[in-house]
Amino acid sequence: MQASATLAAAQAAEALRAAGADVVDFGAGEPDFDTPGNIKRAAEEAMRAGRTKYTSTGGVRELQAAIIRFYKDQFGTEYAPAEVMATSGGKQAIFNAVVTLLNAGDEVLIPKPYWVTFPEVVVFAGGKPVFIDTETTNFLLTPEQFERAITPRTKLVILNSPSNPSGRVLMPETFRRIIEIASERNIYVVSDECYLRFVYPPAKVFSAASLPAELRSRLCIAGSFSKTYAMTGWRMGYALGPADWIKAMLKVQGHSTSNPTSIAQYAAIEALNGPQESVGEMLAEYTARRAWLLQALRDIPGVKCNEPEGAFYAFPDVRGCLQKDLKTSAEFAEQLLKDEQTVVTDGTGFGAPGFVRISYATSMAQLQEGMIRLRRFCERHI
């Protein structure tokens, strides 16, 4: 199994920091904000009230109800309790969904660039990842690209909008058309919507959950509290899907990790049911950073960057800087760290060599210093 590119970058930064270097770190795949106070207090109260025992595998009823209510309020969708389960992070929802579905040799379509976990989970489950190249359409999967990639062995497609690493967001009409095609061809869909709420106007928040029920019979949505509520360490996520699929997923979870941590479940209930101002504040901060960063990146020679409509990543093309001594984006990232103590994540691990991922889940001051360093570096290499 491949080591995660994200974690490798984090470790390299840590080693330099330990040696006393002034590191600018754009590697982070998590918010730089603290978990909002009301959410922490809900966990404290749950602990004091003795809610520290096993719960049902898919989470307590109040959490399932909070997830169902959220989707009803936001997207007008009616999910039944048998169609929802809480998981230990969105990652476990994806894992459960994939391992319960695949038989040996099943093909799984994964658009590039992809979150590093997708192909690894598919291989773990005995499936065969089949990648769809989307560079010609600036990393936005089109219905035509999807349709062309389907073979008689295609069992599943994994979608991720907003995307990690590209930050790109599928337009609702495109998203719908892709799921219509999947439905016509009896292909299952896992829609990883972990960055659901981090979308920048004019792009709009869209969940596949808002599609009509007949398009959702082979659709599993993976959701997460990690990014929206700055709760990465709490390990809370959920899955929404057809009852028979969720039932199989509950079996896998029941015989592996059981319920997500009980007190984290109460924190998650408060996250959904409590005040949402903190989400707006984080979004406003990401919006300002994103605008500044995109402008700064566009001014750097040798760097090109599509506009990321969501998440908190920019994914620039650095091939303009690979003409002289540097030959790959891996070398680019490595040398940038050595010369300028600045961490970016090489795109190769995401299936997009020639690109690097820059996370703006870091302060404006760090962004400004990092862009000075990146510019200096790029000017030396074009």
- Give the E-state strand segments of 143-211 in sequence order: 154-160, 188-192
Q: Rule CB under 6 A: say whether 315 interacts with ligand PLP.
A: no
Q: Rule CB under 6 A: say whether 27 interacts with ligand PLP.
A: no
Tokens of 97: 């969904």
φ and ψ at residue 264, rounded to 5 degrees: -65, -30
Q: Rule CB under 6 A: say whether 265 interacts with ligand PLP.
A: no
Among 31, 68, 71, 91, binds ligand PLP (CB under 6 A): 91
Of 85 and 322, CB closest to ligand PLP: 85
Chain centroid offset of residue 316 CA: 18
Of 188 and 195, CB closest to ligand PLP: 195
SS3 (DSSP) at 29: coil
Q: Rule CB under 6 A: say whether 160 interacts with ligand PLP.
A: yes
Of 83 and 192, CB closest to ligand PLP: 192
SS3 (DSSP) at 113: coil
Among 31, 36, 58, 89, binds ligand PLP (CB under 6 A): 89
Quote the CA–CA distance of 75 and 126 in Å, as a whole number.
35
Binding mask 186-205 for ligand PLP (x = CB under 6 A): ------x-x-----------
Of 36 and 237, CB closest to ligand PLP: 237
CB of 231 to ligand PLP, least distance (A): 8
CB of 226 to ligand PLP, least distance (A): 3
Provide DSSP, 46-79.
Answer: HHHTT--S---TT--HHHHHHHHHHHHHHH----
Q: Rule CB under 6 A: say whether 115 interacts with ligand PLP.
A: yes
Of 192 and 340, CB closest to ligand PLP: 192
Residue facing ligand PLP at closest CB distance: 89
Q: Rule CB under 6 A: say whether 207 interacts with ligand PLP.
A: no
List of residues 6+ apart from 292 with CB closer than 8 A: 364, 367, 368
Among 31, 237, 302, 370, binds ligand PLP (CB under 6 A): 237
CA nearest neighbour of 270 among 33, 34, 46 = 46
SS3 (DSSP) at 352: coil
Q: What sign results for the dihedral spanned by CA atoms 300, 304, 309, 313?
A: negative
Q: Rule CB under 6 A: say whether 164 interacts with ligand PLP.
A: yes
Among 16, 28, 29, 345, binds ligand PLP (CB under 6 A): 29
CB of 207 to ligand PLP, least distance (A): 14
Among 142, 232, 273, 328, binds ligand PLP (CB under 6 A): 232
Provide DSSP, 294-330.
Answer: HHHHHTSTT-B-PPP-BTTEE--B-GGG-SSS--SHH
Q: For residues 208-227, which are near ligand PLP according to CB under 6 A? A: 224, 226
Of 5 and 246, CB closest to ligand PLP: 5
List of residues 6+ apart from 10 with CB closer than 8 A: 25, 27, 28, 343
Q: Return the C-alpha torsion angle 224, 229, 232, 234, nearest 10.
A: -90
Residue numbers at the binding site for ligand PLP (CB under 6 A): 29, 89-91, 115, 160, 164, 192, 194, 224, 226, 232, 237
